[in-house]
Amino acid sequence: MKRKIIWGVTILLVCFLGGELLLRNIWGFGKMPLYYASNKYEYMPCPNQSGIRFGNHYRYNSYSQRSDEPDSTKLHVLGLGDSVLYGGTQTDQDSLATSLFTKDTGIQMLNISAGSWGPDNCAAYLKEYGLFNAKALFLLVSSHDAYDNMDFQPTVGHHPSYPDKQYASAWQEILCRYIYPQFIKPYLHPSSNDPDPDQKVLQGIHKSGKEFNSGFEELRKIAQASKIPFIICLHADKFELQSKCYNEQGQEIIQWAADHNIPLVKDMDHGITDKDYRDDIHINAHGQKKLTEIMKETLLNEGNIKPSYYAKDNQPD
């Protein structure tokens, strides 16, 4: 009997350790991108981290951008936005529109974004770190960003999608992050469910903004002061796509851009379809490719960046 117990414990231990290795090295459990809180722009991924999660690579440079380090030999444009541009761990680094734009054009687009960010988050980040000698600002927004103002509610370390430390093991992450909140907590505490910021957007739960997001005007002034183009890309959610019309808040963004003579491109005018989404608002790898084409058309083909800026023999100022 004692020998059977020893064998049983040994088998369980081997399965536990073997499963831990597989979960970590194959699927990336226990290797989450970590975040830090900011009193200026709410939160951001921690700098200088990289890994593989769910088969997708992710990496962040020393400025917490989901990009390689700014390359002084290349021209820069800034890609600003929320989780659509950010991609999350569901999108491989090389499949991001910002990565594809950089590869296709030789102009480095720095990905300055985070889940549920609004234009005011982006503006606050630029005020902190500057423009990286950028030749243009490309802001990707959705209709809900019209009133999605910063509220500095506790997020990092409070919501599973914004962790500030790793779980002790991959098994613990599966249990605490996925099994417990999805299958156990709803029955034990049905009224305590508090979705993370991205899920609030998907459920139509917006931050408590009562005024039009100040970041639009702040980014306009930043671009104006630096004498560089500022372009807005309005991304439709699936409901807007199906109705073939941006909602009331999206119309306010369109009107604001028209009133201030800001170029605005609508992805619904560029052939985006249901097949380009992985949920009701975020785009998949195919959608990222379409976004890349929009970037190239608006930044290069429409002359927002002058040809002399991206000539092969040209160097940054």
Confidence bin at 314 (pLDDT 50/70/90): very low
Residue 172 has pLDDT above 80, yes or no: yes
Domains of the chain by residue range: 2-30+160-193, 35-152+205-310
DSSP type of residue 14: H
Angle between the N-to-C axes of helices 215-226 and 119-129, in degrees from 0 to 180, rounded to the nearest 10: 40
Q: Give this prediction's pTM.
A: 0.89
Residue 104 has pLDDT above 60, yes or no: yes
Beta bridge partners of 231: 138
CB distance 88 to 56 below 8 Å: no
Residue 274 has pLDDT above 70, yes or no: yes
Fold of 35-152+205-310: Rossmann fold (3.40.50)
Give all strands of the β-sheet with 108-113 in edge-to-edge order. 108-113, 76-81, 134-142, 230-235, 264-266
**pLDDT score at 192:** 61
Residue 59 has pLDDT above 90, yes or no: yes
Q: Which of 145, 149, 147, 143 is nearest to 251 (CA)?
A: 143
Residue type, 231: I
Q: How far is CA 118 from CA 57, 71, 76, 242, 306, in A?
A: 25, 26, 21, 24, 28
pLDDT tens track for 73-103: 999 999 999 999 999 999 999 999 999 999 9
Q: How far is CA 226 from CA 135, 245, 288, in A?
A: 9, 34, 28
pLDDT tens track for 122-156: 999 999 999 999 999 999 999 999 999 999 999 99
What are the b/e assignments for 289-307, b being 16+ CB within 10 Å?
ebbbbbbbebbbeeebbee
Question: In what helix (H) or strand (E) does residue 45 lie, and over which residues does it extend?
Answer: strand 42-45
Phi, then psi, of 228 in degrees rounded to 5: -125, 155
